[in-house]
Structures are given as C-alpha cells and as structure tokens.
C-alpha cells in the first residue's frame, strides 16, 4: 500500500491547528470578540440591506418591469432604493409613534394598579378561604410596603446610575458608538444595494473558481432555500401581526372593553413572536382589564380565544402557513429551542431557520427515494 504524503500532511496540519485552538482558546475567543465588534457596522449594514432589498426588489418589479428606455432602467435601482428606505422609515415612525407610547402607558398602568390588585386578592382570599388555611398562607405571604419598595428601587437606580464622571463618559461613549455603527451600517447597506448584482456575480465566479461548479450550485441552492424561507416568514409575520392587532382593537371597541387601542397595539406587537407572542400580549391585556373589572377580563379572555381560533384557522394559514408549510410540532420546537438559546431573537430566527432546514431535508429525502427507486428498477430489469 502506497503511503499518501499529502493526506498525512493535511491530517497532521489539522491536528496541529486543533491542538493550538485548544491551547490558546481564550486568546482566540478574545480575538473573535474584538473582530466581531469591529465588524458590527458591516453586519448591521448587511441586515439593513437584506430587509430593504425585499421592498426594493418589489418596487423594481412593479414599477419598472416594463421600462424600455435606458434612462428609466438607469433610474430603476436608485428610485426603488429611495422608496424602500422611505417605506422603512415610515413604518418605523408609525411603530415608534403609536406602539411604543402605548407600551409605556401599559407598563405604567400595570405598575400603578399592581398594589391594589395584590390587596384585592389577599382580601378575597381572607374572606373565601378557611381561616386556618388562610392564617398559614398569610404567614408565608410577604408584607409588601409598595411605597417603600418604589423608593428603594428609585434609590437603587440613582445609586447605580450615580452622577459620576465615569458613568457619564461611558454613557456618551456608548451612545456615540451606537450612532456611528448605525450611520456606517446604513451607508454600507446603500453600497451593498447599489452594487448587489456585481457583488453576487463576483462571489459566484470566485466560488466556481475555488470550489467548483457542483459545490457552488449546492451552496447557492441551500442559500436560496433559506432566503425564500426568511423572506416569506418576515413578510407574512408582519402582515399577520398587523391584521391581528387591528382585529383585536376593533373587536374590543365593539364589545366595549377598556384599553382597546393599548391592548390591540400590544397584541399586534407581541404577535411578531410566533405562537407565544399573542398569548403573552393576551395575558398582559387580561391583567390590565382585571384592574378595572374582573368580569370584563373574563370576557376579554373568551374574545381572545375566539380571535386566536379565527387567526389560526383562517388568517395564519393564508398569510404565513401556506408559504412556510411547517408542521405545528416543528414550529413549537423551533420557538422553544430558539427562545432558550437566544431569547426573543431566537424565537424570531428559529422558525425560518427550521423551515429552511425542513425544505432541504424534504428535497434530500425525495432525491434519495428517486435514486433508490431508479436503482431497484435497474436491478429488476437486469
């Protein structure tokens, strides 16, 4: 058997690199963090470019698809990009101007009503629970002085944010760094969107040169599957959240429930989180209404259950479900695992990532079945 020097050299180099990585792991991790921090504006620009590109491509197809004049074709990209950025700014302004103030008011309302609700619950328990049992429960319940608790919280915040020079300098430094990252990211996204055709073709040529045609086609096939999954999920989830928030607000106005616009905005905002979002908003909304009327809170819960059934059976399948085609079990698993790994961001990314992997698995299973059937047919013919 002939000794393969090239294979042995590659194996030895791989083992050496692995040992060096284990030996200097802390140094490598610090270097990776520093590199990630330095490239943060680029990553931020790539995210902006990906989001804006969905609108820009749509504007190009709808407004300039039939353009024949050269000057119209030359204006297609910059005009579509401008319209896309203006659309993003308009939507962001609506969210900031409508939803954020409602969320702040919601938090203030819950904070102001929590002491009264706590007292009402303890009074109800003392009247309806057996005295001996209540005495045991009451001994374990903490005696909360809400005014003192709030004062301590304020003092703690003030001491933590004490007006020291270091704190002020750090705050201004963080704010300035964030502004620089945002500005550089936006500028980088504009460059990416302006030259995306040249960039994609260049990447494809380099990939073919170094990886070969077969591997390049495979990589592009995988990326297309994930791209389609993300695009459909983002657009569908946003549309579904708006529809659910509007329906919730209108329904609450019709049945005359309090805090209709506030809770509707909250439901729409939290509905961006798959599966769990609407239930989070509903639980907060029910607590808010219960501070005014427990009976109306019960009516609201029934209303939300009916609305969720309507949304789950009619709206979601048409808006999101038809495009993703993910089984409910996989959606739940993606949200659970994604939330455990990355919080809310993990919930948002978990579903489209799982959808892309699911589609790739289906394609691979179909390919293997066809190959197996073809092999069996060939053997039978022979």
Contact 289, 257 (CB under 8 A): yes
Q: Of 144, 121, 115, give the one whose Cα is nearest residue 134.
A: 121
Dist CA 41 CA 29 (whole Å)? 20
Contact 178, 66 (CB under 8 A): no
331-342 burial code (b ≥16 CB/10 A, e <16): beebbeebbeee
Q: Kindly report, residue by residue over 70-129, the tens digit of the pLDDT.
A: 777 778 888 888 888 888 888 778 767 766 676 677 667 666 766 666 666 666 666 666
Q: Of 276, 268, 279, 378, give the one whose Cα is nearest residue 336.
A: 276
- The whole-number pLDDT of residue 379 equals 44
Confirm whether 135 is domain-assigned: no
- The whole-number pLDDT of residue 174 equals 61
Q: Of 239, 232, 243, give the one whose Cα is nearest residue 325.
A: 232
Dist CA 198 CA 76 (whole Å)? 16
pTM flag (> 0.75): no
Domain that holds residue 280: 214-375
The pair of structure tokens assigned to 160 is 């933590």
- The whole-number pLDDT of residue 135 equals 63
Chain-centre distance for alpha carbon 240: 14
Confirm whether 285 is domain-assigned: yes
* Number of domains composing the chain: 1
Contact 244, 318 (CB under 8 A): no
Confirm whether 354 is domain-assigned: yes
Tabulate helix, strand, coil % of the chain (nearest 5): 90, 0, 10
Dist CA 45 CA 220 (whole Å)? 22
* Residue 92 three-state SS: helix
Confirm whether 172 is domain-assigned: no
Measuring CA to CA, how many Å separate 13 from each of 6, 18, 353, 354?
11, 9, 33, 35
Residues 6+ away with beta carbon under 8 Å from 368: none
Q: Kindly report, residue by residue over 143-163, the tens digit of the pLDDT.
A: 555 555 555 555 554 555 444
Confirm whether 291 is domain-assigned: yes
Dist CA 55 CA 39 (whole Å)? 25
Q: Count the neighbouring beta carbons within 10 Å of the beta carbon of residue 300.
A: 25
Give the DSSP letter of residue 142: -
- The whole-number pLDDT of residue 162 equals 47
Measuring CA to CA, how many Å separate 373 from each of 30, 199, 202, 361?
52, 41, 39, 18
Dist CA 45 CA 52 (whole Å)? 10
Dist CA 194 CA 188 (whole Å)? 10
Confirm whether 241 is domain-assigned: yes
Q: Count the neighbouring beta carbons within 10 Å of the beta carbon of residue 267.
A: 27
Confirm whether 269 is domain-assigned: yes
The pair of structure tokens assigned to 138 is 């009451």
Confirm whether 312 is domain-assigned: yes
Segments in the chain below pLDDT 70: 1-5, 95, 98-100, 102-103, 106-107, 109-111, 113-178, 274-276, 312-325, 328, 344, 374-382
- The whole-number pLDDT of residue 173 equals 61
* Residue 99 three-state SS: helix
């Amino acid at each position: 058997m002939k000794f393969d020097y090239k294979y042995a050299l590659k194996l030895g180099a791989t083992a050496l690199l692995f040992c060096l990585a284990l030996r200097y792991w802390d140094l490598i991790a610090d270097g990776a963090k520093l590199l990630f921090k330095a490239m943060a504006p680029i990553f931020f620009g790539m995210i902006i470019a990906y989001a804006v590109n969905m609108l820009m491509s749509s504007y190009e197809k709808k407004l300039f698809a039939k353009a024949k004049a050269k000057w119209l074709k030359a204006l297609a990209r910059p005009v579509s990009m401008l319209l896309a950025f203006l659309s993003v700014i308009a939507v962001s302004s609506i969210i900031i101007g409508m939803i954020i103030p409602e969320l702040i008011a919601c938090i203030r309302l819950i904070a102001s009503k929590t002491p009264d609700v706590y007292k009402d619950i303890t009074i109800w328990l003392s009247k309806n629970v057996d005295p001996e049992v209540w005495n045991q429960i009451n001994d374990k319940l903490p005696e909360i002085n809400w005014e003192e608790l709030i004062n301590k919280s304020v003092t703690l915040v003030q001491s933590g944010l004490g007006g020291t020079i270091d704190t002020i300098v750090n705050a201004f430094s963080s704010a300035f760094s964030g502004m620089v990252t945002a500005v550089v990211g936006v500028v980088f996204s504009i460059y990416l969107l302006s030259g995306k055709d040249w960039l994609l073709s260049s990447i494809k040529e380099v990939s073919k040169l170094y990886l070969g045609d077969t591997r390049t086609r495979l990589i592009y096939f995988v990326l297309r599957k994930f791209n389609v999954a993300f695009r459909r999920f983002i657009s569908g989830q946003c549309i579904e959240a708006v529809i659910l928030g509007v329906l919730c607000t209108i329904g609450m106005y019709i049945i005359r429930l309090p805090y209709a616009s506030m809770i509707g905005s909250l439901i729409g905002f939290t509905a961006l989180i798959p599966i769990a979002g609407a239930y989070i908003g509903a639980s907060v909304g029910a607590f808010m209404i219960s501070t005014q009327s427990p009976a109306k809170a019960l009516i609201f819960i029934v209303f939300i259950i009916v609305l969720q059934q309507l949304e789950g059976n009619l709206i979601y399948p048409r808006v999101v479900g038809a495009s993703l085609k993910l089984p409910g079990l996989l959606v739940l698993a993606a949200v659970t695992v994604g939330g455990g790994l990355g919080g809310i961001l993990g919930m948002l990314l978990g579903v489209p990532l799982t959808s892309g992997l699911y589609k790739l698995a289906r394609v691979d299973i179909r390919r293997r079945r066809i190959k197996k059937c073809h092999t069996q047919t060939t053997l039978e013919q022979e």
